[in-house]
Amino acid sequence: MERVPIKSILCPVDFSEFSVRAYNYASSLARHYGATLFVQHVVELWRHPSACFAATADEYNDFRGSLVTSAEDRLRCFVQASAVDGLHPELVIQEDWAIDCILSFAENKAADLIVIGTHGVRGFDRLVLGSVTEKVLRKARCSVLAVHQTPQNPSSQGMAQHGIELREILFCTDLSDLSNGAFDYALSVATEYKANLTLVHVVEGNSKSHCSEKMEKANDVLDRLVPREVKDNSGISKVVRVGKPYREITQFANEKAADLVIMAMHGSDSLDDAVFGSTTYRVVQLGTCPVLAVHPEARTKRQGRGISSADVRE
């Protein structure tokens, strides 16, 4: 199996607890894949109204300069507090709107992955992720790992004493060609971390008895998705459930105490796409563990395995 190329990782931080957890994941992945890690903080002057009351241009520049200097010091301390042996992140300070800087920097550096924390408030069966994270998921042209806040019991979700351990990874697919194309990404990450990998598909329906034929076909497709050379790996399993996909996925992730969920992103500006909005984005919204949304451009073409979404159509 070829290793998925992750050569460049961008981790935007705002010094919050969300950023700390995201940075832990970013640094762990960078160490495993030998990737360059960029740690970025964006100074947004609009968040400091007092800058508007500067009497002169010199006063304004002094104020702006002090914000940048302070940000540089905080970013350096932030990284030093979570230092990883052998890893030397590149620190990036920029000034402008955060979302613009994140997306343009990722594009200019050809980042393979953005790792970002989610600032969510739960309620009424939804989670407002925060405008920056939400827009990164919508607009990024690379894969995005959205990391939730630190759980109450960190050891149960990948937090080791000295970093990140991934033991249980879920790969969730709707069995479409686009979705299945992200499997190599999931297999690569599971191999790197020596983690158990569970392939998950949810058949939409109300009961197993009414969906037995679809479930059988889905099991067959999942089985053929796994390359022959790793079929005997006892760490790989598959599960087919019945219900609403995002609900079943989030529930199963909780049951398995999953450390990571990996799903396909169905294109750029995907928040407005019905498939992404109803499944991947909802799992990011309502789940409790990190979700890696794999961008189409990051997928390896699935050739030679005879797998098609038509295999599970009625």
- Res 46: pLDDT: 63
Q: Is 267:137 a contact under the CB 8 Å cutoff?
A: no
pLDDT-derived band of residue 51, with 50, 70 and 90 as boundaries? low
Q: pLDDT confidence of 38, banded at 50, 70, 90?
A: very high
Q: Find the mean pLDDT for residues 205-228.
A: 90
This prediction's pTM: 0.85
- The distance from CA 138 to its chain's CA centroid, rounded to whole angstroms, is 13
Q: Supply the DSSP symbol for 256.
A: H
Q: Read off the pLDDT of each residue in 46-56 and give the average, rounded to a whole number.
A: 60
Which residues are CB-neighbours of 206 under 8 A, at least 6 positions away? Answer: 242, 243
Q: Is it true that 1-150 and 153-314 share their CATH fold?
A: yes
Domain boundaries, the chain: 1-150, 153-314
Tokens 């300070």, located at residue? 93
Mean per-residue pLDDT, 284-303 = 76
Its CATH class, for the domain covering 153-314, is: alpha beta
How many angstroms separate the Cα of 134 from the Cα of each of 17, 99, 119? Answer: 18, 10, 10
Report the pLDDT value the prediction gives residue 299, as an integer from 0 to 100.
60
- The reported pLDDT for the residue numbered 131 is 72
Q: What's the pLDDT score for residue 168?
A: 97
The phi and psi torsions of 135 (rounded to 5 degrees) equal -70, -35
What are the Cα distances from residue 32, in Å, to 35, 87, 226? 8, 10, 23
pLDDT at 167 (0 to 100): 95
In 3D space, the residue among 243, 217, 233 whose CA is nearest the CA of residue 307 turns out to be: 217
Question: What is the DSSP track for 159-170?
Answer: EETTEE---EEE
pLDDT at residue number 119? 66
Fold type of domain 1-150: Rossmann fold (3.40.50)
The C-alpha angle with vertex 218 and arms to 213 and 222, in degrees rounded to 5, equals 155
pLDDT of 306 above 50 = no
Quickly count: other Cβ atoms within 10 Å of residue 241's Cβ: 20
Question: Is the pLDDT at 45 greater than 70, yes or no?
Answer: yes
Q: How confident is the model at residue 128 (pLDDT cuts 50, 70, 90)?
A: very low
Q: What is the mean pLDDT of the chain?
A: 81
- The amino acid occupying position 85 is D
pLDDT at 120 over 60: no
